[in-house]
Amino acid sequence: MAAPSRDFTAPTVQLLTPEGDLRPTPEAEEYLPLVEALPDAALEQFYRDMVISRRVDVTGANLQRQGQLALWVPSHGQEAAQVGSARAARPQDHIFPSYREHIVGMIRGLDPVAILKLFRGATLGGWTPEENGNFHLYTLVLASQTLHATGYAMGLQFDGATATGDPEADAAVLVYYGDGSTSQGDANEALVFASSYNTPQVFFVQNNQWAISVPVSRQSRSPLSLRGGGFGMPGIRVDGNDVLASYAVTRRALEEARAGEGPSFIEAVTYRMGAHTTADDPTKYRTDDEVAYWTARDPIVRFRTWLEGRGASAEYFDRVDEEAADVAAGVRTRALDVTAPPRSDIFAHVYAESHPLVEAQAAWLEEYENSFEGDQA
């Protein structure tokens, strides 16, 4: 039986049209001053971030095809949502990613080789959050990190590290997940806890239209942004292929969070141009027309068109391309140098304190492996 026809809509915050014109939608008007206050250097940084993101992403995908990575999670198409939101965060903020936010980590100071190390099977983690701009580890069990983020935000409140009125010190938490993850219980429990404890937190959902092969319509009959209101917080729908709009709505929501006004829910509407992972084949479930529609909405082309209209030089764009190529080449070289960790890593840190079973097994494996020494000689 066909479901009854019901009309759910939500307005979308968009500043740049797909053609690259600065023409805010009515919902976006209030954000215009935030964007107009951005210096040219910040705008150029957005562009540079997006171009580097795409080049590093291609590098990751190629390394996987060449058998150098077990898996790669492409971010192609989602650059504006990721760069805009990440650039809206302050250094003291904490970021809890899903597993696709490579450029967000890089913006926070993470060497992307750390991410490739994870996908190369050399680590279960890869980096230290406090040494990498408070960019926490990737989480592979969908939406688990939404609760960690909420608990962390509660801890900020307990510590008085937020809502003091000092914008240089007050911290907030920004958590990333996707349209598929919104169906998980944890994602919903996190919204309940965040709302209940009024946490300094922004939920940033990249709705890239597909959870592997399942369309977002299977996750939600209505725009995801409407979920915010149901949990007692603002729900904002933004054009996630518009870096200016993504920046502006995240910046506003983070400022409110740091000021003690509570959490927000942002749905960034974007598109996963590539496969879910390199193990996926999107030609089996989506049409060429759909891909063409989103290609015409490419976040980098749109922003470049606008920058060109503002007078950015061809030389600037060439320079960025060159820099991105250099970054990607360096990542590739260093990723190939990542080797297997020592076998003691199997046992180290399973427990923080002494554990007789694990210690006995570590000693046994060492003795066992050493017993073969000389056999191959």
Instruction: Check binding of 70 to another protein (CB under 8 A).
Output: no
Interface with another protein includes 169 (CB under 8 A)? no
Q: How far is the CB of 140 from another protein (least distance, A)?
A: 9
Nearest to 34 by CA among 196, 250, 195, 224: 250
Q: How far is CA 169 from CA 73, 164, 200, in A?
A: 34, 8, 13
Q: Is 276 a catalytic residue?
A: yes
Q: Which of 141, 212, 214, 329 binds another protein (CB under 8 A)?
A: 141
Active-site residue identified among 65, 221, 285, 343 = 285
Q: Any contact of residue 189 with another protein (CB under 8 A)?
A: yes
**Is 272 among the residues known to form the active site?**
yes
User: What six digits make up the tokens of 39?
Assistant: 């210096």
Give the nearest distance from C-beta 133 to another protein in angstroms: 15
- Whose Cβ is closer to another protein: residue 45's or residue 184's? 184
**Cα 174–Cα 325–Cα 86 angle in degrees, nearest 5:** 10
Q: Where do the DSSP E strands lie in the chain?
A: 94-96, 173-178, 201-207, 210-211, 214-215, 235-239, 264-269
- Asked if 214 is part of the footprint of another protein (rule: CB under 8 A), the reply reads no
Closest CB to another protein among residues 6, 349: 349
The CB-of-213 to another protein minimum distance in angstroms stands at 23
Tokens of 365: 């494996």
- List 57, 93, 170, 186, residue binding another protein (CB under 8 A): 186
Query: CA torsion sign, 213 to 5 to 184 to 76?
Result: positive
Question: With binding defined as CB under 8 A, does residue 348 bind another protein?
Answer: yes
Rounded Cα distance, 266 and 262, in Å: 13
205 vs 179: CA distance, rounded Å: 6
Backbone dihedral region for residue 232 (phi beyond 0: left; psi -120 to 50: alpha; all else: beta): left
| Segment (H or E) for 161 | none
146 binds another protein (CB under 8 A): yes
212 near another protein, rule: CB under 8 A: no
**Which is closer to another protein, CB of 63 or CB of 149?**
149
By CB under 8 A, the count of residues binding another protein is 40
Quick check: is 285 catalytic?
Answer: yes
Among 53, 59, 144, 162, binds another protein (CB under 8 A): 144
Choose, by CB under 8 A, the member of 29, 109, 212, 351 that binds another protein: 351
**What's the CA angle centered on 69, arms 65 and 71, to 5 degrees?**
80
CA distance 116 to 102: 10
Residues acting as catalytic residues: 272, 276, 285
Q: By CB under 8 A, name the binding residues for another protein.
A: 123-125, 128-129, 136-137, 139, 141, 144, 146-156, 158-159, 185-186, 189-190, 192-193, 196, 348-353, 355-358
